[in-house]
């Protein structure tokens, strides 16, 4: 089975409830074994200028989860999109670039899939193309796998986080470690 790291985020509605339901969906998914989840973080929206005042209601809740799966990457992506749709995500029209900063009740992204490098597909890039640029991804990922080496950049997650220039605020949400359990 492959070890996979997923990013989970929400900035609409009851963000905590949505992420708890997403984790419950992952735990119930055939061919997927839920391993662990990071701390839940409150994160400043990426589209906001660092330091700009953004209403708390527009901030994301983000975390990273580790799973093991026998699903191939594109099959896993399809399952993740089903979970997103079930929990209220409606993908707008246009290109992924056009939709990048749309508010959403749930966003599930494959960050890393073992040491696989997958490109050339418009639907999926592994490792995630922006993983190394985003504090809201690297900080929780570093909790779970600080010494894991990025398969393209050949730096550990800790090294990537230490060198990161992203100044967007990422703070613990103040919930217990097993926040995902109701």
Active-site amino acid positions: 89, 104, 107, 109
Picking from 59, 54, 70, 65, the residue whose alpha carbon sits closest to that of residue 25 is: 65
Q: What is the DSSP string of the chain?
A: -EEEEEEEEE-SSSHHHHHHHHHHHHHH-TTEEEEEE---EEE--TTSPTT----GGGSEEEEEEEEEESS-HHHHHHHHHHHHHHTT--PPSS-HHHHTT---S-EEEEEEETT--B-S-SS--BS-TTGGG-HHHHHHHHHH-TTPBPTTT--BHHHHHHH------EEE----TTTT--
Contact 7, 111 (CB under 8 A): yes
């Amino acid at each position: 089975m492959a070890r996979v790291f997923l990013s989970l985020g929400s900035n609409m509605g009851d963000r905590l409830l949505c992420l708890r339901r997403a984790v419950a969906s992952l735990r119930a998914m055939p061919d997927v074994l839920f391993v662990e989840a990071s701390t839940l973080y409150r994160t400043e929206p990426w589209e906001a200028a660092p330091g700009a005042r953004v209403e708390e209601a527009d901030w994301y809740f983000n975390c990273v989860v580790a799973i093991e799966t026998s699903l191939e990457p594109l099959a896993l992506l399809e399952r993740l999109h089903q979970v997103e749709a079930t929990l209220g995500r409606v993908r707008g029209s246009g290109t992924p670039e056009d939709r990048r900063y749309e508010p959403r009740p749930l966003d599930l992204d494959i960050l890393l899939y073992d040491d696989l490098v997958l490109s050339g597909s418009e639907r999926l890039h592994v490792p995630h193309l922006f993983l190394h640029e985003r504090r809201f991804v690297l900080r929780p990922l570093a909790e779970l796998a600080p010494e894991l080496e990025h398969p393209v950049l050949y730096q550990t997650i800790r090294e990537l986080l230490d060198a990161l220039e992203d100044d967007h605020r990422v703070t613990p949400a103040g919930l217990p470690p097993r926040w995902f359990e109701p």
